[in-house]
Amino acid sequence: MRTYLQTKGRLLLDGGFGSMLLARRLSEQHYRAARFANLPQRQTGNNDLLCLSSPDIVADIHRAYLEAGADIISTNTFNAQRVSLADYGCQHLVREINLEAARLARRLADEYSKDGRQRFVAGSVGPTNKTLSISPDVEDPAARAITFDELAAAYREQMEALIEGGVDALLIETVFDTLNAKAALYAAEQAMTAAGRRVELMVSATVSDRSGRTLSGQTMPALVASLSHAPLLSLGLNCGFGATQMLPSLVELAQVSPFAVSAHPNAGLPNARGEYDESPETMRDACRKLLRKANVSIIGGCCGTTPAHIAALRSLLDEEFGDVRPAAPAAASLVVSGLEARDYAQTDFVAVGERCNVAGSRKFLRLISEKSYDEAVAIACEQVRRGAMVIDVNLDDALIDARTEMRHFLNLLASEPDAARVPVMIDSSRWEVIIEGLKCLQGKGIVNSISLKEGEEVFLEHARECHALGTAMVVMLFDEKGQATDFGRRIEIAERAYRLLTERAAIPAHDIIFDPNVLAVATGMAEHNAYAADFIRAVAWMREHLPGVQISGGISNLSFSFRGNNPLREAMHAAFLHHACAAGMNMAIVNAATRVPYESVEQPLLVAIEDVLLNRREDAADRLVEMANAQQAATREAPSNNVQRTTETPQQPLSERLKSALIQGDSSHLDTDLAEALTAYPTPASIIDGPLMDGMREVGALFGEGRMFLPQVVKTARTMKRAVAILQPHIEATKSASDNAGNVLIATVKGDVHDIGKNIVAVVMSCGGYNVTDLGVMVPPETIVAEALRLRPDIIALSGLITPSLTEMVNTVTALREAGIDCPVMIGGATTSATHTALKIAPAYGGPVIWVKDAAQNTPLANRFLSADTADEARRQLADEQRQLCEAYAQKQQNSALTPIEEARKRKPRFFD
């Protein structure tokens, strides 16, 4: 397949499967057939089951795409792993569905491989309805709905059957969380080993909004860095947008990706009815730009596309044949990532923040031991603000469960945008702790460390595991004989490790980071005098003889002899870094908050320090000790002036301070500011309705404009929750029987796993005094109806982010109406709109259906519709607005019957041609 792509230049993938099935209006019987008549759950929508119950329907769709000219058809297995199939009670059918789906597609692809044209099968592997990088609980950012190992096991089970069934590639598509994709790639390697056959690997992500990031917050360069360890055939984008809206993100990806670029966009954006109506011709013209500007090599269609769209793309590819540029070259330097990528070829020196280390920071150890995680995370954020480009995390302590704490702390960091944007260095002497940490990182991190101390086989095994999990690795210069301390031993071990890693384990040289062991100097022992000088010599040798590697070190070890004299220690570090970096060291673990410039060290002290570091005098250590003693004596005699506040309360008006706290997700001054607000505002509720809700509204606007991304919004929600918790006792004290609050039932509808928006709404409405019952995600209509009948809520709120949610909302309100429920229903989510609500959802229900633009509007709208004074007017106004929307839509549809100007111009008479 790879050779065929290189020969042909471009390949055509098939189009949407769900849209083709939707057009057939399949009944429950089509999904069940005779064999599955007794399955307890409703099976409509379980498209993967059709491979067993109605294989002729699946075959017809494959055949239609092959007839349209597709080079690659994808199996009908998007949700065919046990995590997603569990929603239908079909997890026991995973192997059989995938095996039959692969065999069916294989048979048809072989049938159409003729006249010198080969057809290929890609095993479709969807993202599942779980995410590894985002908490399902807004109040517990460290929680996860599934573990890496559980997800990888589910993927492996699916992939083994697909490979056995004969697929040519595994297409890991619609990736919204890069850690899910890393789990899938990890599973793919295991599956190929178990099956005894290698296939190509294709990954396609989806961009969630105009910020150009995935749902889990990564930029396109960060995505590429995170997946760069895998031997991918292609990396690209699908779903989310049409070709026009996808172009900027795809261009950004293509500029840095060393893989062939793929794209299978939707047929435009959904209209007010939740349908896709971009014509094949329009999509063809839009995709021409993808081919030319984003260097797309594999193109196809996603939601809303049909064989007609694929046929149009076939004609486009035939026109564009051969007009393809080579992919971007593979990275020649270390590129690591958090939510954002960093190419260290563009950085002279990488500062790795050291303060999240229980061995090096007593404060951090105390915070972890006391479970004071917010303060512990704040240390990481502060390091980034002070210039740390990587965060080192070490939780090795005898009284700490390092494995559990590593997982918990890294999950917390993932929810903190300031820290999550930079890569993480997993630092531990326990291999199981390192592995646990790596399975929490969606970005490309760094392992600290591996070494030869347990021999070559263990060393290589650890290196291969690091690479499989998508990380760079620090190699400490230890071997079976112990630690390298002099120049000769340092270069001996480094050269041996380099050959093993690059030649036997196939690790790219730029993913190898040597640590030549920074050791304490000026200890009073003569044999230690050359430690720093030999380190610097070894760095220069490695830079010359081991091409491509990075060189790092833990700098604080150097000045261990001068504990308690921090000014001297930082001066020593500055001088050491100056000389080591000049020799070729480009990374170091440092305290970013206390680094001092080399030029700022006073000359007499600098000379004394460099005499020690460069081993220029036999009495160098004695002279530096004398200078240190004199310095400390002078400090003791001087008045203490080294205690400063690290943060100052912003000198802004109170309302602006509270609003800023929400926007920035900063709760450090909430107690003080809210105490002041209680004296300045008439009621506690007015604080929530005023500056706090103003902040929430601005966050919603920034998110909608693509100027904030998801983890920042979640952080805002948690800050809002904390503010409400502070105000809650005061709210309770002022409550009266006339308070206008009620019971709210909230859920993300069936087929949709997204819950961040729903969770924010739940928080906001709780803040407004409502009692919220949250049913979670993937909630079917029958469950919502049953709970509504039991709880008799005053308001029902339905959330959905993806297009199929729109149909499920109609199904849900229909079921509610049939059950005799007519309380107001609120509709929200990225794909929803006022027009769609008026056209499709409201007519299916007997009560008011209210479209809510953002979470900040829920509480005031609920108040209007529940208050005896305003409810009748609110219902009348809603009915008028929805009637006007329907009339405007009908008028627009009537006008759209006119021939588009582009088409009219094509049809103009050509008298002189």
Which residues partner with 120 through β-bridges?
A: 72
Neighbours of 129 (CB within 10 A): 18
Residue from 220, 481, 440 nearest 339 by CA = 220
Q: Which residues contact 371 (CB under 8 A, 6 or more apart)?
A: none
Active-site hit among 754, 833, 836, 854: 754
Query: CA-based angle 18:319:202, to the nearest 5?
Result: 45
Rounded CA gap, 799 and 138, in Å?
15
Q: Is residue 867 reached through a cis peptide bond, with omega within 30 degrees of 0 on the bond before it?
A: no
The dihedral sign for the CA sequence 423, 713, 809, 240: negative
Active-site hit among 451, 667, 805, 833: 805
Rounded CA gap, 137 and 475, in Å?
38
Rounded CA gap, 904 and 907, in Å?
5
Cα 765 from chain centre: 27
Cα 558 from chain centre: 37
Rounded CA gap, 172 and 219, in Å?
18
Is residue 805 part of the annotated active site? The answer reads yes
Active-site hit among 752, 755, 774, 854: 752
How many contiguous H segments (helices) and E segments (strands) does the chain have? 36, 25
Rounded CA gap, 330 and 15, in Å?
30
**Inter-residue long-range contacts of 147-150, CB under 8 Å, 24+ positions, other chains counted:** 147/439, 148/179, 148/183, 148/439, 148/440, 149/439, 150/83
Q: Where are the alpha helices (DSSP H) in 638-734?
A: 654-664, 670-680, 684-687, 693-704, 710-734
Listing from the earlier edge strand, what are the strands of the sheet with 795-799?
Answer: 771-774, 743-748, 795-799, 825-828, 849-851
Identity of the residue numbered 544:
E
Q: What is the DSSP string of 401-439?
A: -HHHHHHHHHHHHHT-HHHHTS-EEEE-S-HHHHHHHHT
Query: 451 burial class (0-12, 13-18, 19+ CB within 10 angstroms)?
Result: buried
Compute the radius of gyration of the chain from its Cα atoms.
31
Is residue 415 part of the annotated active site? The answer reads no
Identity of the residue numbered 193:
T
Active-site residue set: 752, 754, 805
